[in-house]
Structure 1
Amino acid sequence: MADLKLSETRDLTRIERIGAHSHIRGLGLDSALEPRAVSEGMVGQTSARKAAGIILQMIKEGRIAGRAVLIAGQPGTGKTAIAMGMAKSLGLETPFAMISASEIFSLEMSKTEALMQSFRKAIAVRIKEETEVIEGEVVEIQIDRPAVAGAALKTGKLTMKTTEMEGVYDLGAKMIESLGKEKVQSGDVIAIDKPSGKVTKLGRSFSRSRDYDAIGPQVRFVQCPGGELQKRKEIVHCVTLHEIDVINSRTQGFLALFTGDTGEIRAEVREQIDTKVAEWREEGKAEIVPGVLFIDEVHMLDIECFSFLNRALENEMAPILAVATNRGITTIRGTNYKSPHGIPIDLLDRLLIITTQPYTKDDIHKILDIRCQEEDVEIAEEAKALLTHIGVETSLRYAIHLITAAALACQKRKGKVVENEDITRVYNLFLDVKRSTQYLMEYQEQYMFSEASIVDGDEGGTSAKLP
């Protein structure tokens, strides 16, 4: 007899890729907002993490809406990691929108519209509504099928019970179809939404747990509900303002969310939505959840965008704005003026500034250790020490890039653990910035449009452009 092959099923909802910050699980703070040395993927940057934790606490208490935070530091000092840690610590309810400043120039819409859409993605509305639900254990389903096909519609009866009462309901064709789709049978605990007729299977009753000899892992056992069959339940929907904008500005309704580019949304639509949301807030039907909009490489924005941000932050519906940059004193894009971080002084004045410091040798060692675990690479202690030395001499990013490359070199020689020879091999194969620059300086005459210094007999010498 041939072996029975069982097809392996995988959950496709999560994209299982290892990214630059996939090891970050949070900010790594304790209950008193004190940073732990190594926790939740975060290493070092204690003062910056503590400051981010205080901002986070203010966000959760809803006390910082319309404020802005700047995370400033040298390249490779964990600015984006801190933003990712904030996002993970906020939880699913609080919206977190993340964009790179250069993104807004590549979209088929105006810069300010792209920024406005990002702002509204970072604000959620929690809408409460009461609905009637029939909830209980299915005792019996009787379906009367017509003798002649197409002569009449199917009809039937559904008997449901709770621990205190039992009831019989007449079924129409639509309800029979819904029950059939959910594969409902006697012994299942179900909930029927009265206004929409939606059937939800909650699980199987404990009293029927011995009905079958073999049960699949997906079967969930629940207690038979108590009380009355018909109940009133409060349902909470959490949607962002941008999603409401898209639904109301397109003819296809909520399906517009899946069409990709949403295009520009008219100001009148947004005004009407804001008015309606304000009404719901007064009636107690809805509450605003201000989230976080994180703009990376903020120095890439131009003066128009900065002016828009100045105005948008004063709006009562503004989220918390977190921006990051690795620039020093540089030109503000769109002007000839220089400013710290490439941000106009009037906007800088509104920002709470968190600085990140360069990592120490111990921090780099710990980060590389975490990355080796994340990328599932076994590495010898000596090789790890060499990689740490490379990270100190070149950059942390370069050292992280060498992990997977060294693992492949190790695999090539059929080794199990990455050794010094693997690190040395990939170090010689892939240049870092310093060695690449040195190479260019040596061979620049052979490259096009290079600038070479031609020393004459004079002491100072002259420089000339070679064709």
Structure 2
Amino acid sequence: MRPTTVRVSEMKDLTRIERIGAHSHIHGLGLNDALEPREVSDGMVGQLAARRAAGLILEIIRQGKIAGRAVLIAGQPGTGKTALAMAMAQALGADTPFTTISASEIFSLEMSKTEALTQAFRQSIGVRIKEESEIIEGEVVEIVIDRPATGAGQRRGKLTLKTTDMETLYELGQKMIESLTREKVQAGDVISIDKATGRITKLGRSYARVKEYDAMGPQTKFISCPEGELQRRKEVVHTVTLHEIDVINSRTQGFLALFSGDTGEIKSEVREQINAKVSEWREERKAELIPGVLFIDEVHMLDIECFSFLNRALESEMAPILIMATNRGITRIRGTNYKSPHGIPIDLLDRLMIITTTPYTETDIAQILRIRSEEESVTLSPDALRILTKIGTEASLRYAIQLITTANLVCRKRKATVVEVSDIKRVYKLFLDETRSAQYLNDFQDEYAFDKLMAEREQQKQAAAPSGEAMQMS
């Protein structure tokens, strides 16, 4: 008899792959309780004055006192303007709406510019709706379900629930029996039943029946038997944005339009009706507005029409806090021939609270590179970090951050775990920064098509051509 061979297949651990974003290491503004910035905290480094100013803005946002105001974050490229906005979003929490758009986005959407801005505005305003619903909450004493002997026909059942003060027997319908079966409810469970929808929620198991369960998983949750009456009223809070209400009320398919993404243009009549309804809810204390934040990056890309719209929209009662960022100095306002600071009209600039960011010091750059390497799970040697800091100071911080991942790939290729100076040197030669790229073009521009010198020579030939023809005529 031949022995049977059992083949055991190798099991590989599957790990979830997470993309590391440019600002995924930022978790907040890094302020203490007195709104004073720490030197390094929550992924933020340096920019102490800008972070303190942003902290004051956040405090006013939480109090809901500057709805309709606007803030401008202005500074040189690579000084952490977008990082500051992302830190504000993290500090506000999930309940406060935060919408991020780039100014150039609104020119590529299949709708008018003002409609795109209006939708962005309404995405940044939350409505906290309060509803009261009747629920039945208690411990299951017994479930009895009678099935017909023939197997056909409707099932009938009875459910006994109790609290510390009372016990009641309920007759079960077909849908309730299916819900109880689906949730695998049994005696000893503490459940909650929503009377309006019939939804059943298992809250846990009763402490009184701990000894009756032989096998329990680590996820088993034990709670006390509810007190008081079985039937009670409970307040339920829903938080939605005004844009979501707009979409649901403007499409025949209702909330399915939220998932399809094809919202299109929404009629002003629909928005007016929704605004009136929300105002009515606020008067009845059924709802409250949550002024969120709309962040527009590269705001100098907007044209004069968009700036005029923003001027008017900020005066509306339904306006969020507007935060804009730009790295331009005195430049032309798009759509006009006039120049203005940051490419923003003077009348809008007058409404803005301006926060400036300053270039990072060498110590700040070293700290940022250290945080980024930890975020990307890369180990840098002290010498490699020193070289990267020098590159970040002389070239740009963004270029130095990009070298971290590429140097780590070279390091892994030689089967090492710590990135050394040799790895940095190799990727530094492979990938050019902006300064070296410009120098390379100046040295070898003759070899490129349509270079500047070729255009100048062509102009010289065209300028000399009439004089040559005149000499031939003579």
When normalised by structure 2's length, the TM-score is 0.92
Cα offsets for 1:82-117 (capped at 9, x unmatched): 101100111111111111111111111111111000
Provide the aligned C-alpha RMSD in A. Answer: 2.2
- Could you tell me how far 1:16 is from its partner in structure 2? 2.9
SS at match of 2:228: coil
- Could you tell me whether the CA contact under 8 Å between 1:27 and 1:42 is conserved in 2? yes
- Could you tell me how far 1:465 is from its partner in structure 2? 9.5
Change (3 A) 1:50 1:423: same
Total equivalences in the alignment: 457
SS at match of 1:141: strand
- Could you tell me how far 1:2 is from its partner in structure 2? 7.9
Matched, 1:440 2:457: no
Which residue of the partner structure matches residue 87 of structure 1? 89
Matched, 1:244 2:222: no
SS at match of 2:380: coil
- Correspondence list, 1:265-344, <5 A: 265-344=266-345
- Could you tell me how far 1:388 is from its partner in structure 2? 0.4
Which residue of the partner structure matches residue 260 of structure 1? 261
C-alpha distance in 1 between matches for 2:160 and 2:256? 36
- Could you tell me how far 1:220 is from its partner in structure 2? 2.5
Cα offsets for 1:382-425 (capped at 9, x unmatched): 11011100100100000000001111000001111100000111
Larger relative helix fraction: 2
C-alpha distance in 1 between matches for 2:199 and 2:157? 17
- Could you tell me whether the CA contact under 8 Å between 1:71 and 1:79 is conserved in 2? yes
- Could you tell me whether the CA contact under 8 Å between 1:451 and 1:464 is conserved in 2? no
Identity %: 69
- Could you tell me how far 1:207 is from its partner in structure 2? 3.0
- Structure 2 portions without partners, runs of 5+: 1-5, 463-474
SS at match of 2:66: coil
Matched, 1:198 2:192: no
C-alpha distance in 2 between matches for 1:203 and 1:107? 48
- Could you tell me how far 1:237 is from its partner in structure 2? 0.6
SS at match of 1:452: helix
Matched, 1:381 2:382: yes
The one of 103, 107, 110 equivalent to 2:109 is: 107
- Could you tell me whether the CA contact under 8 Å between 2:446 and 2:454 is conserved in 1? no
C-alpha distance in 1 between matches for 2:356 and 2:338? 23
SS at match of 2:142: strand
Change (3 A) 1:399 1:61: same
Change (3 A) 1:127 1:386: same
Matched, 1:184 2:188: no
Change (3 A) 1:443 1:8: closer
C-alpha distance in 2 between matches for 1:176 and 1:293? 47
Cα offsets for 1:293-339 (capped at 9, x unmatched): 00011111111111110010000110000000111111111111111
- Correspondence list, 1:28-427, <5 A: 28-150=30-152, 152-427=153-428
C-alpha distance in 2 between matches for 1:431 and 1:337? 36
C-alpha distance in 2 between matches for 1:3 and 1:156? 48
C-alpha distance in 2 between matches for 1:180 and 1:430? 62
- Could you tell me how far 1:445 is from its partner in structure 2? 1.1
- Structure 1 portions without partners, runs of 5+: 457-461
- Could you tell me how far 1:5 is from its partner in structure 2? 9.5
C-alpha distance in 2 between matches for 1:363 and 1:65? 34
- Could you tell me whether the CA contact under 8 Å between 1:450 and 1:465 is conserved in 2? no
Pair member with larger Rg: 2
Letter in 1 for 2:82: T
C-alpha distance in 1 between matches for 2:292 and 2:460? 54
Of stretches 363-372 and 130-139 in structure 1, the one that deviates more from structure 2 is 130-139
- Could you tell me how far 1:181 is from its partner in structure 2? 2.0
C-alpha distance in 2 between matches for 1:304 and 1:112? 8
C-alpha distance in 2 between matches for 1:205 and 1:126? 33
- Could you tell me how far 1:258 is from its partner in structure 2? 0.7
The one of 24, 47, 50 equivalent to 1:22 is: 24
SS at match of 1:32: coil
SS at match of 1:327: coil
C-alpha distance in 2 between matches for 1:220 and 1:9? 29
- Could you tell me whether the CA contact under 8 Å between 1:99 and 1:295 is conserved in 2? yes
C-alpha distance in 2 between matches for 1:76 and 1:60? 29
- Could you tell me how far 1:272 is from its partner in structure 2? 0.4
Letter in 1 for 2:53: A
C-alpha distance in 1 between matches for 2:302 and 2:380? 42
Change (3 A) 1:387 1:9: closer
Change (3 A) 1:4 1:427: closer
C-alpha distance in 1 between matches for 2:69 and 2:459? 50
- Could you tell me whether the CA contact under 8 Å between 1:327 and 1:342 is conserved in 2? yes
SS at match of 1:441: helix
SS at match of 1:62: coil
- Could you tell me how far 1:3 is from its partner in structure 2? 7.1
SS at match of 1:237: strand
When normalised by structure 1's length, the TM-score is 0.94
SS at match of 1:231: strand
C-alpha distance in 1 between matches for 2:184 and 2:264? 41
C-alpha distance in 2 between matches for 1:37 and 1:291? 28
SS at match of 2:218: coil
C-alpha distance in 2 between matches for 1:447 and 1:192? 74
Of stretches 90-99 and 49-58 in structure 1, the one that deviates more from structure 2 is 90-99
SS at match of 1:276: helix
Letter in 1 for 2:128: R
- Could you tell me how far 1:178 is from its partner in structure 2? 1.4
- Could you tell me how far 1:208 is from its partner in structure 2? 3.3
Letter in 1 for 2:30: G
C-alpha distance in 1 between matches for 2:209 and 2:174? 28
Change (3 A) 1:82 1:454: closer
- Could you tell me whether the CA contact under 8 Å between 1:451 and 1:465 is conserved in 2? no
